[in-house]
């Protein structure tokens, strides 16, 4: 198994799928000649040419709709929205066209497209370039939402998303493209549904996804070494649908829950996980679940304010200690 960077994993998935199926194409701003803002499409333009690797104008609503339209006839477009903040401009087409087409056509038409986008708060990118929008995407019927926390998932989820007949939104994180991790040498398809137990434990479950999985892992390490608390970390890489079984299983084992998300609350993954626990296994709980999340503010530019607005592993540790009456 090779150690590769997350952007390389995404690039490899593109390359394999494009060489297998001539109907797989990719499109987006600066993805071709420039190789992509995060290099995720590096070298594809040279290999597959401008008909299949399309540098688009800055017309998010337009090219997203165009990709969706092509998918009606069996093309499998991988549509890159440079930053999730720009996805607002494409959402009309994603939600009103791609997500609903199968249903409103009584199953005649489908939109097997993949939307990929970089989200999350990077460093001081300010109010209009720091959005976390998982909560918006995960509430749309007809759209699958996945979000990788490591190169293996990034590779395997993209492979599965391209093959899947449903539209899939892949939420990547701006700060994670250079993260290294193991990816199988052979072809690998990560399940689009489910969750991964990133670390097994017995005393408390830390739910995370994407970047917050790493806060949880770091927190689990500290909790184990310094406080003797055994934390299980569950990686909810599928946000829609959420893995109800996975959530129930872990909660039934640990009986205590902290959910970490980089998104703001109210509304979002944390709220949805708590609702799921209420519905699935309320009586397994020994304490009220706790959310760790960003402050409800447009992202401040100033670095001190930005840091104050976003949680990290220390906030997860604090939340757990509070659950155990140790803080």
Partner 1 sequence: MKIDDKKRVLREMVLHRRFEERCYQAYIERKIGGFLHLYPGQEACCNGVMEAARPGHDYVITGYRDHVHAIKCGADPKEVMAELYGKETGSSKGRGGSMHIFDAAHHFMGGYALVGGPFPLAAGIAKAIQLKGGDEIAICFLGDAANNQGVFHETLNMAALWKLPVLFVCENNLYGIGTSIERSTAVVHQHKRVAAYNIPADECDGQDIDIVYEHARKAVDHVRAGNGPFFLELMTYRYRGHSMSDSRGYRSREEEEVWKQRDPILMLRDRLITAGAMTMADYETIEKETDAYIENEVTKFAEESPEPRVEDLEKYVLADRESQQPWLTGKAA
* 63 torsion bin: left (phi>0), alpha (psi -120 to 50), beta (else): alpha
Residue 140 to residue 147: CA distance in whole angstroms: 16
Instruction: Say whether residue 175 binds ligand TPP (CB under 6 A).
Output: no
Piece in contact with partner 1 (CB under 8 A), picked from 52-60, 193-201, 244-252, 255-263:
52-60
Of 174, 90, 177, 176, residue with least CA distance to 136: 90
Catalytic: which of 8, 17, 29, 60? 60
Residue 190 appears among annotated catalytic residues: no
Binding-residue pattern over the window 20 to 39 for partner 1, x denoting contact by CB under 8 A? ---------xx--xx-----
Instruction: Say whether residue 118 binds ligand TPP (CB under 6 A).
Output: no
Helices (H) and strands (E) in the chain, counts: 12, 14
Cβ(18)–Cβ(46) below 8 Å: no
Catalytic: which of 129, 193, 221, 255? 129
Q: Which residues contact 64 (CB under 8 A, 6 or more apart)?
A: 79, 81, 90, 93, 94, 115
Instruction: Say whether residue 247 binds ligand TPP (CB under 6 A).
Output: no
Instruction: Say whether residue 29 binds ligand TPP (CB under 6 A).
Output: yes
From partner 1, ligand TPP, none, which one binds at residue 104 (CB under 5 to 8 Å depending on kind)? Answer: none
Give residue 138's Cα distance to chain centre: 10
Piece in contact with ligand TPP (CB under 6 A), picked from 82-90, 111-119, 166-174, 280-288:
82-90
Residue 129 appears among annotated catalytic residues: yes
Of 286, 290, 310, residue with least CA distance to 300: 310
The residue (of 58 and 267) whose beta carbon lies closer to ligand TPP is 58
The residues assigned a catalytic role are: 60, 129
Interacting residues with ligand TPP (CB under 6 A):
29, 58, 60, 82, 86, 89
């Amino acid at each position: 198994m090779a150690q590769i960077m997350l952007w390389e994993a995404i690039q490899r998935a593109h390359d394999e799928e494009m060489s297998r199926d001539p109907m797989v194409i990719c499109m987006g701003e600066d993805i071709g000649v420039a190789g992509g803002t995060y290099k995720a499409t590096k070298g594809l333009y040279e290999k597959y040419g401008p008909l299949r690797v399309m540098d688009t104008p800055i017309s998010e609503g337009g090219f997203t709709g165009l990709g969706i339209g092509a998918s009606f006839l069996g093309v499998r477009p991988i549509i890159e929205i440079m930053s999730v903040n720009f996805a607002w401009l494409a959402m009309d087409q994603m939600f009103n066209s791609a997500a609903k087409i199968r249903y409103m056509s009584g199953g005649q038409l489908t939109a097997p497209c993949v939307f990929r986008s970089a989200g999350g708060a990077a460093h001081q990118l300010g109010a209009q370039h720091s959005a976390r929008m998982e909560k918006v995407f995960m509430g749309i019927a007809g759209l699958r939402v996945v979000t990788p926390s490591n190169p293996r998932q990034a590779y395997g989820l993209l492979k599965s998303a391209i093959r899947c007949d449903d539209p899939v939104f892949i939420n990547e994180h701006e700060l994670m493209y250079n993260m290294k991790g193991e990816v199988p040498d052979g072809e690998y398809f990560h399940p689009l549904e489910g969750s991964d137990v990133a670390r097994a434990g017995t005393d408390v479950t830390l739910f995370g996804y994407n970047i917050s999985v790493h806060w949880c892992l770091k927190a689990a390490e500290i909790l184990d070494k310094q406080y003797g608390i055994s934390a299980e970390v569950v990686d909810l890489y599928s946000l829609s649908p959420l893995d109800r079984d996975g959530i129930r299983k872990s909660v039934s084992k640990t009986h205590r829950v902290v959910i970490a998300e980089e998104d703001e609350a109210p509304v979002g993954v944390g709220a949805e996980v708590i609702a799921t626990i209420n519905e699935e296994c309320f009586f397994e709980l020994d304490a009220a679940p706790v959310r760790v999340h960003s402050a409800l503010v447009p992202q401040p530019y100033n670095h001190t304010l930005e840091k104050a607005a976003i949680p990290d592993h220390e906030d997860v540790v604090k939340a757990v200690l509070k659950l155990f009456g140790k803080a």
